[in-house]
Amino acid sequence: MRLSELQYKDIVNLEGKKIGNIIDVKIDRTGKLISLVVEESKKFIRLKSSDSEREIPWDRIERIGEDVILVKL
């Protein structure tokens, strides 16, 4: 799977709520993907945070489907 394919998938938590969309990724020095950087949807933004970006570690990805990426937060 290519990064460009991931970019158009919605990020959804286990409760089915949309978290946002991928805007970037972080990789380590070996090229291994370590996290997704997600721009949170306005409905999901946490009250304590003024930042609209969230980093989701790769080990929190439960499943990558055709249209969504399911994450455990």
Strand partners, 15: none
User: Residue 2: what pLDDT?
Assistant: 82
pTM summary value: 0.79
Digit-coded pLDDT (tens) for 60-70: 999 999 999 99
Amino acid identity, position 15: E
Domain that holds residue 36: 3-71
The CATH number given to whatever domain includes residue 54 is: 2.30.30.240
Task: Please state the domain count of the chain.
Answer: 1
Distances (CA, A) of 36 to 4, 14, 19, 54: 13, 17, 12, 8
